[in-house]
Structure 1
Amino acid sequence: MVLGLTKQYAWLALPMLGFTIGWYLDNKETQRMTMFRDKSALYGRALKEGEAPSW
């Protein structure tokens, strides 16, 4: 026991920490992928003047 924390607290905190890190990385990847919405490199065409994005 260190600073009043037991093994039970560690077994509770590890999955929560893993979930938090995964959620953060998933959000960062989603933000990164928004740069590619309706870009010719991803979809193979450029938007026409006045055309609305598909998303």
Structure 2
Amino acid sequence: MVNIIHLVRDHWAVALFPIGFLVGWYFDNKNDENLAIFRNKSKLFQRELKPNEDTVWK
């Protein structure tokens, strides 16, 4: 038990990097989902879609 605490105390930066990456990835995906709600509704991107096109941007 003491060895685990000592390991975490000495190498806390190595543990925080992957956790920070995963948290950032999660929030990025949530933001993409929120932006997808407004897809094709902006006046800037509003146009006729091509026959095989479902959205203007992905």
TM-score, with normalisation over the residues of structure 1? 0.63
Verify the 8 A CA contact 1:47 1:53 in the aligned structure 2.
no
Going from structure 1 to structure 2, the CA distance change for 1:53 and 1:4 (only over 3 Å counts) comes to closer
Per the normalisation by structure 2, the TM-score is 0.61
| Contact 1:38–1:54 (8 Å) recurs in 2 | yes
Corresponding residue to 1:24 among 19, 23, 26: 26
Distance 1:2 1:19 in 2: 28
* Aligned position for 1:4: 4
**Which structure's relative contact order is higher, taking Cα pairs within 8 Å and 6+ residues apart?**
2
Unaligned runs of 5+ in 2: none
Gaps of 5+ in 1: none
Aligned length: 50
